[in-house]
């Protein structure tokens, strides 16, 4: 790897991986495709994973990850002799610190409870750059509620939800059914957002969103009692605004997320 930078190139194709005896078998096939390069990198045991089901059967969509510093060097990936399918997309997301806002977001969901309406869903979107958090709550944890928050944050950031308005942004999500749905993916594609997903059994890859949910639970969900869903929704949204305005982040020199965003944007324009 060059300069210790590990760029993850995600290849999405509509093909199963039946016939590969293990992840090691698949890794070996990739290594043969790129002789002389460290195509798998130091995380070989976690480099290839199928986020939409078991690894030993056919799936409607499979994502393969190859740790590789030279994104341009990977023109196509051959799986069992088949070229990368038309329409497949590749994304390179660096593990390094994201140095500007609206470059990489992460999303996840958890559950809340209100006395009158019972269980409900709570969604979060995190900006990896500035550390800003955006929360919302809905009656059900479904694709429509997840997409609602995405459209809301996109409108706030880009002043529109027109086609490709968020080109250049990547959104990280896990294997939750609402995030894997065709409706949610269609929304992402419409906005021009790239999709570097977090994989099964690797919660650390979506750690920013997981930590945001943990903070919300500690500060709101676990200590408050809410009569209705609307009361809970107002509380989580209010906490998101409070967090962005007043929470001091160590990695930003004890600045708030809003201050960090302004500083990053000023540095990018300088």
SS (H, E, C) 204-244: HHHHHHHHHHHHHHHHHHCCCCCCCHHHHHHHHHHHHHHHH
Give tens-digit pLDDT for 192-233.
999 887 766 666 678 899 999 999 999 999 999 999 999 999
Q: Which tokens hold the place of 6?
A: 């590990």
Q: How confident is the model at residue 82 (pLDDT cuts 50, 70, 90)?
A: very low
Q: Which tokens hold the place of 222?
A: 């676990």
Contact predicate 63/50, CB 8 Å: yes
Cα-to-chain-centroid distance, residue 243: 21
**Entry pTM:** 0.67
What are the backbone dihedrals phi and psi of residue 94, each rounded to the nearest 5 degrees, phi first? -75, 145
Cα-to-chain-centroid distance, residue 160: 21
Q: Can you tell me which residue has the tokens 């610190």?
A: 97
pLDDT of 197 reads 75
Give tens-digit pLDDT for 167-182.
999 999 988 899 999 9
DSSP 21: -
| Rounded CA separation 211/101 (Å) | 18
Burial 50-86 (b: 16+ CB within 10 A, else e): bbeeebeeebebbbbbbbbbeeeebeebebeeeebee
């Amino acid at each position: 790897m060059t300069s210790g930078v590990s760029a993850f190139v995600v290849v999405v194709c509509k093909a199963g991986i039946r016939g590969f005896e293990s992840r090691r078998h698949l890794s070996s096939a990739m290594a043969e495709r790129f002789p002389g390069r460290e195509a798998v990198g130091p995380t070989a045991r976690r480099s290839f994973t199928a986020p939409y089901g078991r690894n030993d059967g056919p799936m409607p969509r499979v994502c393969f990850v190859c740790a590789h510093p030279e994104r341009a060097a990977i023109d196509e990936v051959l799986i069992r002799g088949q070229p990368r399918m038309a329409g497949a997309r590749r994304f390179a997301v660096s593990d390094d610190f994201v140095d500007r806002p609206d470059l990489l977001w992460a999303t996840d969901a958890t559950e809340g409870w209100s006395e009158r309406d019972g269980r409900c869903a709570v969604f979060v979107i995190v900006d990896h750059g500035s550390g800003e958090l955006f929360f919302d709550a809905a009656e059900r944890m479904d694709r429509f509620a997840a997409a609602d928050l995405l459209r809301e944050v996109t409108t706030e950031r880009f002043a529109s939800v027109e086609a490709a308005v968020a080109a250049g942004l990547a959104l990280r999500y896990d294997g939750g059914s609402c995030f894997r749905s065709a409706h949610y993916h269609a929304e992402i594609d419409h906005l021009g957002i790239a999709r570097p997903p977090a994989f099964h059994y690797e919660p650390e890859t979506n750690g920013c969103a997981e930590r945001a949910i943990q903070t919300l639970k500690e500060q709101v969900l676990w200590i408050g009692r809410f009569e209705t869903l609307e009361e809970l929704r107002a509380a989580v949204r209010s906490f998101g605004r409070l967090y962005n305005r007043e929470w001091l982040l160590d990695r930003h020199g004890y600045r708030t997320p809003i201050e960090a965003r302004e500083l990053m944007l000023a540095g990018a324009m300088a």
